[in-house]
Structure 1
Amino acid sequence: MSLAAALQFGPLTEAADDAEFATRMPLPRRRRARAEAIAQYRLERFAEVNGATFAAEAREPVRSGRIFGVGILQRSSDIVSFGGDRPIEVGTHRYSSGYLDSEPFVWGYATTVLHAPVPALFVDPKRVRGRAWRSLPHPIEVALGSPQLDPGFDRRYTVSARIGTTATARSIVERAVFEPAMLARLEAEEPLGLEVVDDRLFVYRWMPFDLAAPETWIRLLSLVDDLARALEDEARGRERPAAVRA
């Protein structure tokens, strides 16, 4: 049984937990702070009953993904981490760009480890909800190139990879990510961005994921798992001799 199929959603959907929270600690007086405190408690209970760990906040977290380690006031929150053969972490990450007139950025993310040597690559949608996709920072120490995609994909996505690996990245992305069924899932509600770096897969949304909704967890965990497997299969297939692949 997959992780998504085995999840228990009672703590997210049963109002009784709110009353239990009130008996354990004082609720904040302000309405917004009160709602946030209850939401975090329910998310913590959800993680607990599903064998995951929960962290309400992590300041300046160390991660390989490109939304981490940039800007000021870096903070991750609502971090739920599942273990097992395919460990998956889901959370929200914030940072600000600039100093005097700083601009806040808030991203939803999910990440998992890859068990095959997939080259570093980035897949960014060009538009989300009719608006240009918020540009994600690229590592300044790495020279990147963008392969020419088929017209149908080129209108909707930008693929970037280290110079010298762009052809390989294009082949892997078109087979694993742009496969019709997988692409439909990636775009089910709105296009998501993804990154492969340091043997990890990151999936990004340009606003927080709705972690109070069971359908978010069902979609996101299964998508991350299946994307990782598809990328691994393509990477392993390229390592095998042509005669074996045939």
Structure 2
Amino acid sequence: MAAAPFDARPLTEPVDRAAVRAHTRNLRALGQVPTNRNVFLIVVIVFMAVVFANVFGSVIVAVFAAVFGALGEGQWSFVPFLALVPVIFVIAVFVAVGVFVFRRMLGSGEKWYRLDRFARANGMSYRPVLASPPLPGMIFGQGHSRQALDMVRGDRPRFVEFANYRYTTGSGKNSTTHVWGYVAVKLDVPLPHIVLDATSNNTLFGSNLPSTFDRAQRLSLEGDFDRYFALYCPRGYERDALYLFTPDIMARFIDNAAALDVEIVDDWLFLYAKRDFSTLDPAMWAWLFSVVGALLDKLEQWARWRDERLRADAAAAARSAAASAPLAAAGVDPVPGGHAAVPFETPLAALRPPPGVAAPGRRLRKGVPWVVTIIFGGIIAFWIFTQFGGFALLFGGLFGGFSP
């Protein structure tokens, strides 16, 4: 993030069309945006128009001929021109497609140009498209056709990336494209996998997140935090979560990020929402910058966290290093048994664990959505009901009293 004042003018001020076109050509030359998408769209639409004209052209001519014929014999002089109806139709489609594609290309190029200038004005960089971004967050491993769009990145005082994200589930007519916006913040050290599921964006069916986590990992925090977020952390890491989410940090998340879902995984902090973040709306950017700015100065204390479960590994590594050190140069002979007879040793019990997270804390355990549980429970109950003659008993009880 830049230390300079927030500058949103490039998002709204007038632009030079020639500069927009030059910028778009440069992006295409660098391979940062697709080059054949609009051409393919034109070919498909024109092909469909030609097929339509060939199939329905004779019908259209016949209809027009019947209409003009009903008007009287004097109107039949227009009939030869009816053969031009399919041609006129195809020409109209060409013009409509050309206008549509031109506006679409111009609109995309202008957006790329504005966001690029906005990023530069705020000490950041811009990239229009990146396929399958290599990030560990939960939304990045879902579906197929994954794309990060309109990425705005900064690296001061730490790496931050704002972007829109798309992935598709299913295929053909049953495919669904999922829309997300995310902010990725690089942390100083890896931390336990923690998810803050914002309660404000949940639906009737529960969380809007693409992953469900085992409810046994739910941790209740003090104050009003549970009203805004459901916090999940790996079993055994409850004390670590309390260390990371001190009252002042909880207050920052409540005041600034209550509308966002949050994920901490490896050495990344992600903020999610099911809408685009990287837009031409200055208010959206002002809000996102304020959220990140409010959190950044509190993240530095997380750099001091260490996983105590790695202390034994650090002690073993220190012993191994001491035993295999080149003692001959120091004039010290190893004691029989392999341990070095050195005049001093590192106090292994006082060693600080290295940065990192032990295996149990690296990923949360997945759970099953309660809706799925209810559906499968209903199916099993129905099967048991039918296997034991439930319908016969039910209908026998209902209609038994009517038998003669």
Write the distance in 2 (CA, Å) between the matches of 1:217 and 1:5. Answer: 15
1:113 Cα deviation after fit: 1.2
Flag the structure with larger Rg. 2
Indicate the larger mover: 204-213 or 3-12.
Answer: 3-12
> Is 1:220 the counterpart of 2:288 in the alignment?
yes
Write the distance in 2 (CA, Å) between the matches of 1:219 and 1:36. Answer: 24
Write the distance in 2 (CA, Å) between the matches of 1:177 and 1:18. Answer: 46
**CA RMSD, Structure 1 to Structure 2 (Å):** 3.4
User: Could you tell me which residue of structure 2 aligns to residue 67 of structure 1?
Assistant: 139
> Is 1:128 the counterpart of 2:128 in the alignment?
no
Write the distance in 2 (CA, Å) between the matches of 1:107 and 1:144. Answer: 27
Write the distance in 2 (CA, Å) between the matches of 1:24 and 1:237. Answer: 45
1:150 Cα deviation after fit: 4.5
Q: Name the SS for the 2:298 alignment partner.
A: helix
Residues 17, 119 of structure 1: CA spacing in aligned structure 2 closer, same or farther, 3 A cutoff? farther
Write the distance in 2 (CA, Å) between the matches of 1:32 and 1:128. Answer: 32
> Is 1:137 the counterpart of 2:211 in the alignment?
yes
Q: Which of 108, 119, 123 pairs up with 2:192?
A: 119
- Greater relative CO, 1 or 2 (CA 8 Å, sep 6+): 1
Identical-pair percentage: 28
**Structure 1 outlier segments of 4+, above 4 Å:** 22-28, 129-133
Q: Name the SS for the 1:47 alignment partner.
A: helix
> Is 1:209 the counterpart of 2:277 in the alignment?
yes
1:6 Cα deviation after fit: 2.1
Alignment of 1:28-39 (within 5 A): 29-30=99-100, 31-39=103-111
Q: Which of 220, 224, 233 pairs up with 1:148?
A: 220
Residues 212, 171 of structure 1: CA spacing in aligned structure 2 closer, same or farther, 3 A cutoff? same
Indicate the larger mover: 28-37 or 89-98.
Answer: 28-37
Write the distance in 1 (CA, Å) between the matches of 2:151 and 2:18. Answer: 23
The superposition leaves residues 154-174 of structure 1 with CA deviations (integer Å, 9 ceiling, x where unpaired) of 343211122221342245335
> Is 1:184 the counterpart of 2:184 in the alignment?
no
- In structure 2, the gaps of 5 or more residues are 26-37, 39-97, 308-404
- In structure 1, the gaps of 5 or more residues are 240-246
Residues 18, 104 of structure 1: CA spacing in aligned structure 2 closer, same or farther, 3 A cutoff? same
Q: Which of 144, 149, 157 pairs up with 1:85?
A: 157
Q: Which of 183, 199, 211 pairs up with 1:110?
A: 183
Q: Name the SS for the 1:194 alignment partner.
A: strand
Q: Which has the higher helix share?
A: 2
Write the distance in 1 (CA, Å) between the matches of 2:4 and 2:177. Answer: 35
Residue 111 of structure 1 aligns with an amino acid whose one-letter code is: A
Write the distance in 2 (CA, Å) between the matches of 1:220 and 1:186. Answer: 9
1:231 Cα deviation after fit: 3.7
User: Could you tell me which residue of structure 1 aligns to residue 263 of structure 2?
Assistant: 195
Residue 20 of structure 2 aligns with an amino acid whose one-letter code is: F
Asked if the contact 1:145/1:163 (under 8 Å) is kept, the reply is yes
Residue 13 of structure 1 aligns with an amino acid whose one-letter code is: T
Write the distance in 1 (CA, Å) between the matches of 2:303 and 2:216. Answer: 20
Residue 208 of structure 1 aligns with an amino acid whose one-letter code is: D
Asked if the contact 2:217/2:234 (under 8 Å) is kept, the reply is yes
Residues 40, 152 of structure 1: CA spacing in aligned structure 2 closer, same or farther, 3 A cutoff? same
Q: Which of 227, 230, 241 pairs up with 2:298?
A: 230
The superposition leaves residues 193-241 of structure 1 with CA deviations (integer Å, 9 ceiling, x where unpaired) of 11111111111111112531223223212322432432432563789xx
Q: Which has the higher strand share?
A: 1
What TM-score results when the alignment is normalised by the length of structure 1? 0.78
Asked if the contact 2:21/2:109 (under 8 Å) is kept, the reply is no
Residue 15 of structure 1 aligns with an amino acid whose one-letter code is: P
How many residues are matched? 233
Residues 199, 70 of structure 1: CA spacing in aligned structure 2 closer, same or farther, 3 A cutoff? same
Q: Name the SS for the 1:68 alignment partner.
A: helix
